[in-house]
């Protein structure tokens, strides 16, 4: 170790963090240096970052705040650190995560290795059949409300690495630069968009919620994906009691429930609750509600099952609209498929995991634009090109290349000709 350095931070650790950040891409921060620009002189940038982190003189620049539309309406702030700062955060995350991961709860799914949102949805699906009541818990402004003192106590419980603790404290209090250019000093919370933020948020709720639930209500099941939480109960009275206790627990941790969004949902089939106001909920892009479904042996029955939510469908349609497929007449249908299919495949793999037929509606939007693309394409050859001709062409293509587009694999396309 260099005697002039305060901390022993391996250069290889910094370089590995850079490779990970480069792979994840992302936007430029307040310094307007993109991944591409950083890469052009990455040796100099990385040495400078390593040198400052090792000497204790690294201070994170302000986090660039951008406003992202929320599916429920309104906007939420997203913090974008600089490329160099994302690398620095990744360095600390690589040190801290292996120490925290063994302690996290098995029903905590968010931003963890070998766990996914679909795992959480699958578990919730099984438990909604077993338990008739669900608390759909929403924490008000969670990422912006995390108490720094309580969070640092939790971090210090798991690591004595002095430089990791130093830089975590600095990231928590780093200024945010608003869209109008003004700077705001942060006294609580951790910015959504930071590399280290999900890990810190998980740690905070591990103590504020997970461990407390296991101790206070050891027989109650829950799923937590970051701050999206479901709690399963046997009766309405039990759900009301537990929700009250959870609200009090969160208040002790300087958090609060969002009363407008938090609700107790009935998942059962009793006619006595036909008029109950809350009989569905959204979780990780899925809407859970009663639907006609089919058993493994083909028998139909009504079950409380998940399918892609209406808000997720709307988001997919907006993305498809922005593609402006019908204007890309300079491309061949094969090149369109090559460009579009990775998106469609990703959507089907996620939103089509449960009750796939509900994916048909948003993906038929692709077919709509393909028809318009055909009509515009043929117009150059035939002034009177019609939608019927477009349908005929797509049907012929689909007949000879049935898997050209991802949605065609499931029969969601133009009639075969």
Q: Is residue 172 over pLDDT 90?
A: yes
- Domain-wise residue ranges, the chain: 11-266, 309-410
Task: Report pLDDT digits (tens) over 237-260.
Answer: 999 999 999 999 999 999 999 999
Q: Which residue has the higher pLDDT, 59 or 181?
A: 59
Say if pTM beats, i.e. exceeds, 0.85.
yes
- Mean pLDDT of the region 30-36: 94
* pLDDT for 145: 94
Task: Report pLDDT digits (tens) over 13-29.
Answer: 999 999 999 998 888 99
The 3 state secondary structure assigned to the chain is CCCCCCCCCCHHHHHHHHHHHHHHCCCCCCCCCCHHHHHHCHHHHHHHHHHHHHHCCCCCCCEEEEEEECCCCCEEEEEECCHHHHHHHHHHHHHHHHHHHHHCCCCECCCCCCCCHHHHHHHHHHHHHHCCEEEEEEECCHHHHCCHHHHHHHHHHHCCCHHHHHHHHHHHHCCEECCCCCEECCCCCCCCCCCCHHHHHHHHHHHHHHHHHHHHCCCCEEEEECCEEEEEECCHHHHHHHHHHHHHHHHHCCCCECCCCCEEEECCCCHHHCCCCCCCEEECCEEEEEEEEECCCCCEEEEEEEEECHHHHHHHHHHHHHHCHHHCCCCCHHHHHHHHHHHHHHHHHHHCCCCHHHHHHHHHHHHHHHHHHHHHHHHCCCCCCCHHHHHHHHHHHHHHCCCCCHHHHHCCCCCCC
Percent of the chain having pLDDT more than 90?
76
CATH superfamily of 11-266: Reverse transcriptase/Diguanylate cyclase domain (3.30.70.270)
């Amino acid at each position: 170790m260099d005697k002039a350095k305060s901390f022993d931070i391996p250069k290889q650790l910094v370089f590995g963090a850079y490779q990970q950040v480069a792979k994840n891409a992302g936007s430029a921060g307040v310094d307007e240096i993109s991944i591409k620009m950083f890469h052009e002189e990455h040796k100099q940038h990385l040495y400078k970052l390593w040198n400052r982190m090792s000497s204790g003189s690294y201070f994170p620049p302000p986090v660039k705040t951008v406003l992202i539309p929320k599916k429920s309406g309104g906007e939420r702030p997203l913090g974008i650190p600089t490329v160099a700062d994302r690398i620095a955060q990744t360095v600390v995350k690589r040190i801290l995560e292996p120490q925290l991961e063994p302690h996290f709860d098995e029903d905590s799914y968010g931003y963890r290795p070998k766990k996914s949102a679909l795992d959480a949805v699958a578990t919730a699906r099984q438990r909604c059949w077993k338990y008739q009541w669900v608390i759909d818990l929403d924490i008000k402004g969670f990422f912006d409300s995390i108490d720094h003192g309580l969070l640092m106590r939790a971090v210090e419980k798991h690591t004595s690495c002095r430089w990791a603790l130093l830089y975590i404290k600095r990231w928590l209090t780093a200024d945010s630069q608003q869209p109008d250019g003004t700077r705001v000093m942060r006294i609580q919370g951790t910015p959504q968009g930071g590399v280290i933020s999900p890990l810190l948020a998980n740690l905070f709720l591990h103590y504020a919620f997970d461990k407390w639930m296991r101790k206070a209500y050891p027989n109650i099941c829950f799923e937590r994906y970051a701050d999206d939480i479901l709690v399963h109960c046997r009766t309405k009275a039990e759900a009301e009691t537990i929700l009250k206790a959870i609200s009090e627990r969160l208040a002790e941790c300087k958090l609060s429930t969002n009363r407008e969004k938090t609700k107790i949902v009935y998942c059962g089939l009793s006619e006595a609750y036909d008029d109950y106001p809350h009989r569905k909920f959204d979780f990780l892009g899925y809407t859970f509600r009663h639907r006609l479904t089919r058993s493994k042996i083909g028998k139909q029955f009504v079950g409380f099952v998940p399918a892609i939510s209406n808000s997720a469908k709307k988001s997919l349609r907006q993305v498809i609209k922005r593609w402006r497929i019908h204007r890309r007449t300079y491309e061949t249908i094969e090149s369109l498929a090559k460009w579009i299919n990775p998106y469609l495949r990703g959507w089907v793999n996620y939103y089509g995991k449960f009750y796939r037929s509900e994916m048909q509606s948003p993906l038929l939007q692709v077919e709509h634009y393909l028809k318009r693309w055909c009509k515009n394409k043929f117009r150059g050859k035939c002034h009177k090109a019609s939608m019927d001709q477009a349908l005929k062409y797509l049907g012929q293509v689909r007949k000879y290349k049935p898997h050209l587009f991802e949605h065609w694999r499931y029969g969601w396309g133009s009639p075969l000709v």
